[in-house]
Structure formats: C-alpha cells, structure tokens
Chains A and B, each alone.
Chain A
Amino acid sequence: MSDFAGWAREATEPSAAAGKPEALEGIRVLEFCPGHFGGMVAASILAEFGAEAIKVEPPGGDPLRLVAPEEIQVAGTGLPFLSEARNRRFATLDADDSAGRDVFRRLALSADVIITTEPPERMEAMECDYPSLREERPGIVYLSLSTYGAFGPDASRSVRDSDVLCQALSGAPYIVGEPEREGFPPRPHEAPTRLGNWHGSFVQGLWGAYGVLAALHFRAETGKGQAVDLSGAESLMMFADYNITWMHTGGKARERVGNFDPAVFPYTYIRCRDGYTFIAAYNDEAFDSLMHIIGRPELSRDPRFSTPKNRVALENERALLEILEQWSGDRTADEILVAVEEYTSKRGGPGAAVVTGRVNRPLETLSEEHWRERGCFLRARDPVYGELLLAAPPWKMSGTPARWKSGCRLPGADNRDVYLGILGMTEEEYRRLAEAGTF
C-alpha cells in the first residue's frame, strides 16, 4: 500500500467514525412523509451526516412499513422501510386530529428543516405550509417532494407520488432497454425499462438533501430560510445525459439501444464464461490497447472501427460486440480483468483507459473482500428487528465522517423522547394526549 493509501485508510476508516464530530450536528430535521420512500432517503442522508431526524408516522405506523416484496416482513415491517429506517427517532402522531395538529406545529416550529411529501392543501389546513411557518420561524428550510413539483401547468395533476411515476416522466426508462425489431411484433422486454431498484425515489431524496444543504449554507451566510420545491421526475431527469443539448443542437432525440451506446463504444456488457462483464475502450488509444489485448491489433485500422464516429455506428457496434465475445466467451470475468490490468499497467495516459468489471449478482458483490474491508455493508442488530444486512453510508471522511448510528424502531418507540424531551411536554399533557389517541 502506498503511503497515501495507508494515510487515507487510517484517516477515513469507518469503524473509527463513532468518536469523531458530525458535520450537521445541531440541525433538526422533521420528516412528515407518510408512505413515501424518497422522503425517507432525504432525511436519512442528512441524518447520516449528523442531523437529528424525527420521523412522524401516523398512529399504528407508516403505510410504507406494510410494503413487503415477496411478503417478507420483520416484526410487521417490510424490507424497503427497514433498508432506509436509520439514524432517526420514530414518533407517532395523528395529524388529522386538532390536538395532533397543534403538536405537529410545535414540532415544526422547533425544527431547522421540514421534509414533506404531503399535498400543499393538507399542509395549509394544518397551518404548516411554508408561508405560515416562516412567519414565526424565518430561518426554516422547507423541502416539499412531489411528482411534478409545486408550480407549473402540471403541478395540480392528481397523482400520488411514486418511484415508477418519477422514473417514467424522467426520461430514464425511455433510454433503458431493448429496442423493437423492425418487422416483428414487439416482445415484452423490448420496451422502455424501469431501473430495478427505486432509483427514482432514491435520487429524489438525494437531490432533496442536496437542496436542503445548499439552503442551509445560504442560511448560515444570511440568516434566511427558504422553501425548496423538488419534483422526483426532474430529479432523475438531471441524469438523462445530453437529451436537451442534442435536441437543441442536432434536433435528435435519444432512443433506447439495449446495452449499446450512441456516443461511446465499446462501452457494453460482454458475455464471458461465468456471466457478463463490462468492457470499455472508446478513445482511439484505449481502443488500440484493447485490440492488442484481444490479439487483434489490425482491427484498430479497420475502417469500421478506426475512428470514434465509426465505432458508434450501430451496425459497427454490433459487429464489434461479436468480435469481443469471440475472445471473452471462454474467459472468466476475472481473467479478463487480469488481462486488461496487465496490459494497461504498462501503458500510461489515454491508452490505459481500458475499463472492465464483472456484472455482479448481489451475492457476488457481497462476497468481495474489498467492500468488506471498506465497511461498505453493516449488520444492524436489534431486539425487535433482529439482524439486518444494510448498505453503510458510502462516504469516507477524515474530519466528520458520515455514519450509521441506529436502525428501525417500532412506531412511536421514541414518543417520550420526542414529546417530553424535545418539545418539553409535561407528563400530564403527554398522558392526556396518549389516552386521547393523538399519538
């Protein structure tokens, strides 16, 4: 290991994070996002950086707890909720009840950041919309998440936000998946294809956290709070490459091309003996390196492949894929990696830009020592929810590392802590509200 790598490991080792200060210590986040995964992600990310997050669930628990692929539940909660339920307090509150609304408003006025996915009309009825809250708390940062956003011609469309709606509108599935074959009826998989995880919701939460941090930066400079309006569709849309610039400059729209790519090639998955692996070598020098690696150096001068422009003609991409798979078909992904690294380690600069990596199934990812050493996964242990395998915060930081601190708890498990400790209720008030069913 180089001196720098050794220093970096010591300075950012996740297992040493617990003793270090946190970046967002002292920032209180109130999450009011019933049934919504993106809202959870936004709060989780701020909480991984040290914000104090409080999730308000309806009495009995958040509807998202009931979402359970393959009907797998742990203590009544499905895996999507469990995967994102981290670093927060779990409070319950009946926000439709007038006493509950009052409690919610008090909580909101104690917070630095509000995250909500509820329609503005509901927040207005609770007097917890942004214009109402800022009168009493001008520094508040108020993030609202939705499918279409809070303004614009489609803002009042009647939808309940979800991952698949945001994905569909974002332009992502439009350029993911196999094209139809001319002259044949389309097969089911020859369609715009959704990203298999809830990437739309995740990215919505991530942009939400980013917007909040930008607003908090501005507040630290000026004292001013603000509203942050975020559409989940637009969140993933920002990742849709050069859609707009190509339309504007070339009048062209991107279409789906399976595992090919209209701008760079080779940049694709190739079949190998033990599955699939990624291979890329798209600038001229790297392409020449790859042709040497596969023992076909003459192809660098083949007119079909000799320039980046010729390599991205779809018929040439298909021809090249066939050539690459003739070579890769009887090699394993690891053998391909070794062949690439041996060659490129002797060649610097653009010629070294041959890139590969096995298309891992999740269990294959989990079996790799590299991620274990870097603390990429963790096992949460809880008396109620048992042992759960979770993804750790991905950032390694030397000063104020992001960290996982706690996992899921039962709905209302932190009610006393939140209402007595944070809001300062008396025991009597707490008991009265609890008995009235407000929590």
Chain B
Amino acid sequence: MPSDPGSFRAYAMRAFDPAAIPGKPEALGGVRVLEVASRIFGPATTDYLGLFGAEVIKVEMPPRGDLMRYVAPEGFFWKEVSPAFLPLNRNKLHVGLDLHPAEGKELFLRLAERSDVVLENLRAGTMDAWGVGYLQLRKRNKRIVYAANSGFGQWGPYSAGRASYDATAQAVSGFSAVTGFPDQPPMKAGFWVGDYTAALMSATAILAALAARRKTGEGQMIDLSQAEAMIRTLDWTWPYAGLTGKDRPRSGNVDPSYPPSGIYRCRDGFVAVSARDEGELIPLAHAVGATDPEEAGIATPERVAAFCATRRVDEVVRIAEDAGFSAAPVRGGKDHYHDPHLRARGTVCSVDDPLYGRVDEYGPAPKLSESPGRVKWSAKPMGWHNERVFGDLLGMTALEMEALARKKVIGKWADIPGARPPKGSAP
C-alpha cells in the first residue's frame, strides 16, 4: 500500500475515489441521444454513452417495447424486470412511441431536432423506409450524428433483410473458429461478446463524430456491421491467412503467442499463468521444476499443467508473485460480486434506484479523474418517462398526451413481466 503521500498511487486513490464521483461533472453532459433499438447491440451502445453523462432517450414500441425485456435467465424476473435487461439500460429515459403512424414520426422528428445523436439497430434501411432515417433527419437537423448498427452493414450483398445477433457476428467473422480446442467443435462464447464489442466500437465512433462536428458544425452517418467489428479484433488471423493460405488453428487454453501462458486447472479451480518474455519464462521454468534455471524451454504447457494440478489457485498466484512470473485466478460473477477490489474501484457498484431500491451493477471500466462515469439509475418500465420527455422536453400538455395515447401513438407498458413496474409501485 502507498505510504508516500506524493506517490502516484496515493494520488490515484484521491483522484479516482468513487465516493467523490457524485460531486464531479460528467464528460458527456449536454449530449442528447435518441435510441431506437432492441436487445443488446444498440442498447449497449447508448448505455456506454449514458454512463458518461449523455442524456439517452430510449424510444420503444408500445406496449411490449424492447424484446430484451423478455430475455430472462432461467425465466427469472425480479420486481417484474429481467436481470438481463438492467445492465444494458442504465441512466436512460424510457418513452413508448410508435414510429409507424404519421403523428409518431412527427414526434420523433421533433425529438431529433433537439438531439445530438440518433442510434438505431433495426434491419438496414428500416428507418429510412419509415421516413425517419438519416436523410430525413438531417433535413431537420444538420448537426445530427446518426449511427446505424447492424449485422452486415447498410449496403452490400448481405445487407438487405438479413438479421443478426451477437452469435451471428461470432460465427461469420471467424471468431468462433479460432476459439476453443483443436479436437473439438468451434466454441461460441457464452456471453454476448459480438454485441458488446461492436457496441463499444459504435459508441467510440459516435464520440469521434461529435469531435468532428465541433469543427465542421455538421453531423454524419456511421454505418457499423457487428461482424466487421469482430473481424477487426482477430489480430494475427488475417495476415496469417494472407501469408500461409491457411486457417489459424484453435489452440485451446494455451496462448500460441506466449506459450506456455494459458489457463490451467488447479486443485480448487483454474488459474491463468502468464510469461511474456525470458524475464518471466526463466522464473516460471524454475518454479515448475527446471534443474537449469537458464533453460526457459523447460516450462512446457505439460510441466505447467502438472505444477498447477497439485496446487491451489492462491498458491500458484503467490508462487508467481514471489518467483517473478505472472498469475491470476479465473473468476466468475459470484467472485466479482464479493470482490473488495472491484467494490473499492466502483467496478461493482450499488445504485439506490427510486423505483427498485438497491441494484448492484458493473460500473464503467475507464476511470476518469475529473469527469468520471457513473450509474445514476436503473432501467425502467416501458414508457416510464413519457411525461418528462413529451411534456417537459417537447412542451406537450397532459390533454395532448392523452389524445395521442388514445390513438396508440404513444403508450406505456404492457401488463406483463418484463414491461411493467414492480407490484404496488405504479403511479
């Protein structure tokens, strides 16, 4: 632990202190984002913007809204909301608005006039066909940054009509083909990595487009395919294919770039062992029983596996720290939930939500010293913020809203788990 108050570590504890976050400004304060999206790819994109202070208005189709509301692990809903929906929709304002009728389109255009960013993840061209795509929006607001997230992009042979999920991108990109063991089928990552990776790329491009707008005064369209996003992450897969004409093989749990670095079984769990160069390989070789400490080659995956198999995870980590190679435990959600380090960093955080009470979440990964990200409130039922958005922002009266609700142009939650508020809490 730091003892010198002038040291960087002491500085870091002060500068990044999670307890001080509520009093600090937000990086993207003043940026308004309209989301027309469902499931993960689109909602995660705006979640990342909202974590850093953008005001995100999530437009859902009444009365069921985002179909992610009904994706529930083992069918489990908590206070009528799915735990899988919560982490994708923090800090958002939820409105129910049907973009099919003319009055719905006009309301959307009025919102877009007051917004900086529109984010959608419908099938390519759908928003344009509805009359609320980029070409229509920019006539009303030339500063609008319009990000279209899709499986295969807005143009090209596969763009028309093809839907895509996370695992489509995992599959068609080649990502799954290089994940898993050589004598086993390709492995689908058990989390929705093809959505989140692409979502973060989309959010990154949106910030770049906002930087450009500062200079030009004009917005632009961003077309991002989630498969292309995954293709970009596959490091040496492509130059290898180009030079050898071969597919990069699956290599299981040993990293083929840094053998024997990899994931190994211990007596009580799994550990990652890592050695980037001779400076780490030699101590590793020594630890796993090499007689000649200069002989780094002795640290074969088989020797490391045998070494780990008879030890506990914490033993291997301690031996690594003492010896001068690197190791870390393989952790899961339960470990994260109880991890004092992640709690101290706000990476696992508690939000006191006015509707749900305490909700624990993953907080933002990048820690900013002056304008840190934060979770301010949790996802809400369908249409929860209609009055705030249509009333306060667009200046509609209660009577006008009632009339539109009668025509089903705007609406609120269906009376089903996933969409509706907790029992006994509805206003």
Q: Are B328 and A169 in touch, CB under 8 angstroms?
A: yes
Closest to A254 in B: B333
Q: Are A402 and B205 in touch, CB under 8 angstroms?
A: yes
Q: Are A174 and B330 in touch, CB under 8 angstroms?
A: yes
Give, as a whole number of angstroms, the nearest-CB distance from B160 to chain A: 7
**Contact count band on A:** 35 or more
Q: Which of B30, B280, B333 contacts A246 (CB 8 A)?
A: B333
Q: Are A174 and B274 in touch, CB under 8 angstroms?
A: no
Closest to A250 in B: B76
Q: Which of B163, B240, B252 contacts A355 (CB 8 A)?
A: B163
Q: Are B212 and A269 in touch, CB under 8 angstroms?
A: no
B residues 266-284 in Cβ contact with A at 8 Å: 270-274, 276-277, 280
Known contacts A362-B248, A369-B157, A357 near B168 by CB under 8 Å: yes
Known contacts A247-B360, A308-B70, A357-B164, A149 near B257 by CB under 8 Å: no
Question: Which of B106-114, B174-182, B396-404 touches A?
Answer: B174-182
Interface assignment of B62: CB less than 8 Å from any CB of chain A: no
Give, as a whole number of angstroms, the nearest-CB distance from A261 to chain B: 7
Contacts of B336 in A (CB 8 A): 171, 237, 240, 243-244, 247
Contacts of A293 in B (CB 8 A): none
Interface assignment of B187: CB less than 8 Å from any CB of chain A: yes
Q: Are A150 and B9 in touch, CB under 8 angstroms?
A: yes
Q: Are A150 and B16 in touch, CB under 8 angstroms?
A: yes
Q: Are A240 and B333 in touch, CB under 8 angstroms?
A: yes
Contacts of B73 in A (CB 8 A): 242, 246, 250, 252, 254, 262-263, 312
Q: Are A249 and B157 in touch, CB under 8 angstroms?
A: no
Q: Are B219 and A229 in touch, CB under 8 angstroms?
A: no
Q: Are B370 and A218 in touch, CB under 8 angstroms?
A: yes
Q: How far is the CA of A6 from the CA of B159 in the complex (A)?
A: 12
Supply 27 A–B pairs (Cβ within 8 Å), ascending by A: A37-B235, A79-B235, A151-B16, A152-B342, A164-B272, A194-B255, A195-B193, A197-B237, A203-B200, A213-B208, A214-B28, A215-B370, A227-B15, A228-B368, A229-B12, A241-B87, A244-B348, A244-B360, A245-B360, A247-B337, A248-B360, A355-B163, A361-B247, A362-B237, A365-B231, A368-B158, A396-B153
Give, as a whole number of angstroms, the nearest-CB distance from B403 to chain A: 26
Give, as a whole number of angstroms, the nearest-CB distance from B404 to chain A: 22
A residues 248-272 in Cβ contact with B at 8 Å: 248-250, 252-259, 261-264, 267-269, 271
Q: Are B12 and A214 in touch, CB under 8 angstroms?
A: no
Contacts of B128 in A (CB 8 A): 2-4
Interface assignment of B391: CB less than 8 Å from any CB of chain A: no
**Contact count band on B:** 35 or more
Interface assignment of B171: CB less than 8 Å from any CB of chain A: yes
Q: Are B162 and A174 in touch, CB under 8 angstroms?
A: no
Q: Are A147 and B328 in touch, CB under 8 angstroms?
A: yes
Q: Are B176 and A359 in touch, CB under 8 angstroms?
A: yes
Known contacts A193-B179, A360-B177, A397 near B222 by CB under 8 Å: yes
Q: Are A278 and B179 in touch, CB under 8 angstroms?
A: no
Q: How far is the CA of A392 from the CA of B153 in the complex (A)?
A: 14
Question: Which of B78-86, B285-293, B407-415 touches A?
Answer: B78-86
Give, as a whole number of angstroms, the nearest-CB distance from A265 to chain B: 11
Give, as a whole number of angstroms, the nearest-CB distance from A311 to chain B: 9
Q: How far is the CA of A368 from the CA of B252 in the complex (A)?
A: 27
Contacts of A228 in B (CB 8 A): 366-369
Contact with B along A168-185 (1 / 0, CB 8 A): 111111111110000000
Q: How far is the CA of A237 from the CA of B328 in the complex (A)?
A: 15
Q: Which of B8, B247, B347 contacts A129 (CB 8 A)?
A: B8
Interface assignment of A153: CB less than 8 Å from any CB of chain B: yes
Q: How far is the CA of A169 from the CA of B365 in the complex (A)?
A: 14
Interface assignment of B203: CB less than 8 Å from any CB of chain A: yes
Q: Are A241 and B218 in touch, CB under 8 angstroms?
A: no
Q: How far is the CA of A269 from the CA of B176 in the complex (A)?
A: 10
Interface assignment of B425: CB less than 8 Å from any CB of chain A: no
Q: Which of B70, B172, B334 contacts A358 (CB 8 A)?
A: B172
Contacts of A130 in B (CB 8 A): 8, 11, 369
Contacts of A25 in B (CB 8 A): 215
Contacts of B186 in A (CB 8 A): 269, 276, 359
Interface assignment of A167: CB less than 8 Å from any CB of chain B: yes
Contacts of A394 in B (CB 8 A): 201, 224-225, 228-229, 231-232
Interface assignment of B310: CB less than 8 Å from any CB of chain A: no
Interface assignment of A106: CB less than 8 Å from any CB of chain B: no
Q: Are A360 and B270 in touch, CB under 8 angstroms?
A: no
Q: Which of A4, A124, A207, A364 contacts B366 (CB 8 A)?
A: A207
18 new A-B contacts at CB < 8 Å, known A129-B11, A158-B321: A149-B347, A167-B272, A171-B332, A193-B253, A193-B263, A210-B207, A218-B27, A228-B366, A228-B368, A235-B365, A241-B84, A246-B76, A249-B79, A250-B78, A312-B74, A360-B174, A376-B228, A400-B208
Q: Are B333 and A124 in touch, CB under 8 angstroms?
A: no
Interface assignment of A328: CB less than 8 Å from any CB of chain B: no
Contacts of A278 in B (CB 8 A): 165, 167-168, 170-171, 188
The 7 tightest CB contacts between A and B, nearest first, are A309-B75, A389-B242, A211-B366, A243-B333, A399-B220, A168-B272, A249-B78
